[in-house]
Structure 1
Amino acid sequence: MAQKPSFLRRLFGGIWRTIALLYALVLLVLLLIVPAGIYLAFFSGPQVSVPQGSALVWAPVGDLVEQDSRGVGNVLGAVFSEPQRQSVVRDLVESLDRARDDDRIELAFLKLDELGAAQPGQVQDLLAAIDRFKQSGKPVVAWSPSYDQSQYALASHADTIYLDPLGFVFMPGYGVYRNYYKEALDKLGVTINVFRVGEYKSYVEPFIRNDMSPEARAANQAWMSSLWRTYRESISATRDYSAEDVSAYIEDFADTLEAMDGNAARMAHEAGLVDTVAALPDVREAMRERVGSDDAHGSFSQINQADYLAATDTEQTAPRTDNRVALVVIEGAIVDGESVADSAGGETIARLIADARRDEHVASLLLRVNSPGGSVTASERIRREIARTRAAGKPVVVSMAGVAASGGYWVSMNADQIWAQPSTITGSIGIFGIVPTIDEPLNELGIHTDGVGTTPLSGLMRIDRPLSETARTIFQTGVERGYDTFVGHVADARNMEESAVRRIAEGRVWSGADAERLGLIDSLGGFVDARDAAAKLADLEPGDYALQPMQPPADWRTLVRQFLSAHTEAAWMPAWLSGLVDNEALAWLRTGLNDPHHRYAHCFCRVSSADAGIAALSRQRSE
């Protein structure tokens, strides 16, 4: 008679069968829901046409991004939760450029109340599109119940600016504020071993200090002052309001507001920042008088920019040839391996560039970079693919968005041309290594590590042991070698002397305006300028080519990985708290520390206006 299996064997066998069943059920659900989700997201809904004599309602929603992360993997996520709120800069620019020459569009109505995080360089791309639209002679009207710094930057280029009677215009300037963790790490017994080159390579400071170093403070103040100067000049260029007036408005904000009994709308109007203080129903009525009524919506005749792009896609003239300008977007931290949510994987990006190089219809390559850097190994892999593409005879042009610093500059430097906006954040030529060890807290718990190895290098990388002097020497030497390599690549790519590169390197961050002066980039301009340059270098005339965005194919494993990555990130911290807490450093520690050699070219230089935390709390209270 066969022996009956033991209780533990039956228990674990049952658990395993349950896991296998759940796994099969998840796959079945994916197979059923993904096609339906794709159809509902992309193909459902009525056909939209452009009303004659209507207004283009240009309404950015959520954060500005360079590539739509709401791909197939996130369509699945949208089935189970609210989809990400984001607007692609390229789409916003394209809608204004198409509407400029469209006789059916009478004016552009900038609805700015739902715009979220926007980097200064990205805002400048949008401002250029607004200015091109105005050159057609069509008016631009802006409305928001209140204006934060980015919203007002866009509104300032409108012909007419409306503000709600209960609203305000708040431009607090730029700031870099971080959480510093040294004391907390010391209390936990965690040792952060740091290896770096460069006086200004301050990314690691939050882990080894309790405050900002004098060097980082001076460098940050320099590039933020450049951005603030550009911001004020942008306002004064289109309104009867000098850069000095902007500074005075901010510096006297509290006193002036008190003198006006807290009436911030009146304060902005009398300062000349807005043209009319009016409630939204009054604004709609004024718009009806200009473009007529839309009875279906109870408002003025209009079409929003997303519907407008969809309605006009089929109207675009097909290129006269099969030539293409391939577009590869590098957005987020650069990590080793494949791309996941909010990151650019070195393998993924390198493969896309190689695909473009091998495509006989691709005449040139355009890279749109919006990254603070990350893994040195991944950055170098991307740079090498760019060099191979140029060696194959295909021109490469880089368009820097909000930030293209450190590893973001590493992947850019070998292009034929580099374009950036004056407010793009770039430079930060330096690298560092970071190795945390947790032997002390383990010892406190009564967990000790001991053993024997065949060489002094055995067990070198165990995080449950203190880092030896041998290991420290290896890491520091590797970082110094990596820095010399970085500097040498920049010197070769930019045709500069190494001594000149070293003077502007050491991890120092520069604005796009300063980077042009220093020779780190070629020209100031936005995505459209870089796209035209990529075509021109390939001897392509307007109408002779199409822009071809390069996207990785998605199998079911990719879908699951994107879904889990996006939802793990969303669950990490409540939205209102993420606006107050320095989430970038924590997120990078969780997802970005994967360089096989523990060397990183990463810049902690994402700038924000100082009202971000207040805005986040306000949104939380209103929801």
Structure 2
Amino acid sequence: MSATSCFRRGCLFLFLGPVIVGLLLFFLFRLSNDLPDRFVLTVPLGGSLEEMSSARDAFPFSGEGEQLSFQDMLFILDHAAGDRRIETVLLEIGNLQASPAKITELRSAIARVRTRGRKVVAWLHSAEDSDYHLASACDSVIVERGGYLLLDGLKAETLYYTAPLEKLGISFQATQWREYKSGIEPFTRTGASPEYLAQMNALLDAVYSDYTDYVSKRRGISRDSLESVIDNIALVQADKAVKIGLADGIASHWELKRSMARRISGKEPEKAGDLFVSAAAYRESLDWPVKADTDDAVAVITLSGPIVRSVSGAAMASDEGADVGMLRRSLDAALEDKKVKALVLRIDSPGGEALAAADMLQMLDSAAVSKPLVVSMSGIAASGGYMAALAGKTVFTQPLTVTGSIGVYALKPDISALAAKTGLGRDVVTRGRFADANTAFKPLEGEAYRKFDEASGFIYDDFVAKVARSRKMSAAAVDSVAGGRVWTGRQALELGLADSTGGLFDAVREAQRLAKMDVSKKPRILLYPERQPWWQMFFDGGPAAVARSFGAAAIGEAVSPLPAGAMLRMIAIAVRSGRVQMLAAMPGEIIIR
């Protein structure tokens, strides 16, 4: 036998060995995920419920665990509705900070589970209004033993950075189109404008009315009684909550699980945990994200977070956001796949860089020529996020989606006072009258400021024209509902800015209909952007890209726990760059607590 032949056999073994081991591990993993014939599905619900998981896996040793996204929750509950093995769905709710629109979409998902014969139980860990709002959609509400309900009403809070920044020697010049475009206010005012207060009050009225109406109907109490609890009691102990009809029972987590296991097995269980399956484990056992009846597919492309040209140089994001390149790659993949018959654009974005949003709309309009495109608005689809929605043949919104905000603002940092305080000198040689006009070391004046303001106006007029063309309205009609005004999804329908009330699955069915697919069959759903391993950055941008992402992640970790963390990131990047930031954005996602 020749040495070459042995060498080739060795190469074959080296190639096949890992493949065989990988297959064995895969089948062992699948076997380990076999589920009981009857079980309780446990679903944790807390935090901000990001629309979808990060486009990249977390860095190793970053300490970040895998968290289920909002879309994960929707697909899991959709599977659970038809799974006869599931005796009960147990929602473990605490510290929920999701937008009102996401809570209403989850309410609908829970209702579908209940109508298919599955019992849904909410277990509340020291709940606040948002937690209780969602829990009221369930068959029963159990409060943690020793816990309470903090039902003190809703609030919307905005921080103003103008005064503290001026103490550091940093200020901003701004221009807005128009008076309701309030994104500049945290940097130019020390308190809210009348226009901003009017919008916040209108939003709070809509959310509070929906909250109190829904809870009172679900719990069988009058709205006046519920409002009396909010205004006069607020902190409701567990036993009091049961007595006045806000809850159905009190139990520790251990007690509740033992009780459920006893009901399933008919006897005192030796290991109650064997009858409980976590949402994460359940997901791994499924055909994900749906069990399809046909090979035809609908591509769901998500724009989540601030809209930016590129996440590496974003003004409003660290390592996250919806960037132009990500959307281009997603559209290319969906358009090239012949099995994909239609597109659904899912939007959960407050907007961002104005020209990046315009680029996205151009790409989406082009894609919609090849395949039907339907838009599904999630918690927020405002400003640049609304601009992207204009590509949809049909636009679905939740009643409490925050949308509209058709307007533009621009911010320019001025650190001349900081430079004077620190003794920082500067020498500049220029050619051209305005060559040094946009520097951060001095304010804009005279004609330079006029050009700065005009640039925002050009983008605003273009935005209005895009809305008029897409929504078949006159420019004057659009301008009357634009100017930065923010609307709920329900109001957007009345104003002609959206087409129908519905969630993600409603948009998928409409996409099927437009593509002339069989709507009685569940299509394959392909989710974009596709998730990439963190090490893919080495191939995309080399070591420098990895270093930038580590730095951005560090900034994000530092400021994300703070209120308006995205705004603080924007301050840091704007000052560092010294450039004018032209934005079609909300001040940030509105989470009403």
Answer yes or no: same fold by TM over 0.5: yes
2:35 to 29, 37, 50: 50
Task: Tell me: CA distance 1:99–1:568, structure 2 relative to 1, closer, same or farther (3 Å).
Answer: same
Q: Give the 3 Å change call, closer, same or farther, for CA 570–440 of structure 1 in structure 2.
A: same
Deviates more, 1:355-364 or 1:413-422: 355-364
Distance (Å, rounded) in 2 between the aligned partners of 1:373 and 1:100: 34
- Does residue 561 of structure 2 align to residue 582 of structure 1? no
1:136 corresponds to which of 103, 116, 122 = 116
1:41, 1:180 → 2: CA distance?
Answer: 53
Q: Distance in 2 between matches of 1:395 and 1:314?
A: 23
Gaps of 5+ in 1: 1-38, 258-262, 611-623
**Distance change in 2, residues 1:556/1:570 (3 Å):** closer
Residue 572 of structure 1: how far off its partner (Å): 3.8
Give a deviation string over 1:525-572, Cα, whole Å, max 9, x none. 111111111111111124363111123564425596886566545644
| TM value normalised by structure 1 | 0.82
Q: Give the distance between the partners of 1:221 and 1:572, measured in 2 at CA.
A: 33
Aligned position for 1:164: 144
One-letter code of the match for 2:581?
H
**Residue 199, structure 1, aligned to residue 184, structure 2:** no
- Whether 2:286 is the aligned partner of 1:312: answer yes
Distance 2:276 2:240 in 1: 31
Residues 574 and 364 of structure 1, relative CA distance in 2, 3 Å threshold: closer
In the TM superposition, what whole-angstrom CA distance separates every residue of 1:214-269 from its partner, at most 9, and x where no partner exists? 11111111122112212222223422023333322111125xx5xxxxx6112322
Verify the 8 A CA contact 2:177 2:460 in the aligned structure 1: yes
Tell me the CA shift for residue 509 of structure 1: 1.0
1:360-375 equivalence runs, <5 A: 360-375=338-353
Is the Cα–Cα contact under 8 Å of residues 409 and 582 in structure 2 kept in the other structure? yes
Match of residue 335, structure 1, among 290, 297, 308: 308
Greater Cα offset, 156-165 or 557-566: 557-566
Superposition TM-score, scaled by structure 2 size: 0.86
Cα distance per residue 1:478-497 (max 9 Å; x no partner): 10111111111111111112
Shift of 1:602: 0.7
2:397 corresponds in structure 1 to 420
Whether the 8 Å contact between 1:107 and 1:138 is mirrored in structure 2 is yes
- Secondary structure, aligned partner of 1:478: helix
Quote the Cα distance in structure 1 between the aligned partners of 2:30 and 2:513: 39
**C-alpha distance after superposition, 1:265-307 (max 9, x if no partner):** 1232222110112233332232123212796854461212221
Q: Does 1:230 align with 2:210?
A: yes
CA contact (8 A) 1:130 1:157 kept: yes
Change (3 A) 1:43 1:416: farther
CA 1:551–1:483: 2 relative to 1, 3 Å: same
Query: Does the residue aligned with 1:65 lie in a helix, a strand or coil?
Result: coil
Q: What is the aligned partner in structure 1 of residue 17 from structure 2?
A: none
Cα deviation, residue 356, structure 1: 2.2
Give the alignment partner of residue 64 of structure 1, picking from 30, 33, 49: 49
Question: Distance in 2 between the 1:319 and 1:400 partners?
Answer: 26
Q: Unaligned regions of 5+ residues in structure 2, if any?
A: 1-23, 313-317
What SS does the corresponding residue of 1:199 show, helix, strand or coil?
coil
Matches within 5 A, 1:390-401: 390-392=368-370, 394-401=371-378
- Corresponding letter in the other structure for 2:294: R
Give the share of equivalent positions with the same residue, in percent.
29
Distance 1:105 1:479 in 2: 55
SS in 2 for 1:547: strand
Aligned 8 A contact 2:403 2:492 in 1: yes
Give the structure 2 partner of residue 506 of structure 1.
483
Question: Residue 11 of structure 2 corresponds to which residue in structure 1?
Answer: none
- Counterpart-to-counterpart distance in 1, 2:374 and 2:268: 44
Any conservation in 2 of the 1:330–1:369 contact (CA below 8 Å)? yes
Q: Within 1, Cα distance between the matches of 2:221 and 2:101? A: 22
**Other-structure match for 1:148:** 128
Q: Which residue in 2 is equivalent to 1:515?
A: 492
Q: Find the counterpart in structure 2 of residue 526 from structure 1.
A: 503
Kept in 1: contact 2:289–2:525 (CA 8 A): no
Q: Distance in 1 between matches of 2:291 and 2:102?
A: 28
- Where do 1:150-549 residues align within 5 Å? 150-253=130-233, 264-292=237-265, 297-299=271-273, 301-313=275-287, 317-321=291-295, 323-338=296-311, 341-392=319-370, 394-541=371-518, 542-543=520-521, 545-549=523-527
Distance 1:574 1:457, change over 3 A: closer
Is 1:107 paired with 2:88?
yes
Distance 2:245 2:301 in 1: 42
- Aligned-pair RMSD on alpha carbons? 3.0
- The one-letter code matched in structure 2 to 1:480 is G
* Per-residue deviation, 1:95: 1.7
Distance 1:391 1:442 in 2: 52
Number of aligned residue pairs: give it.
Answer: 558
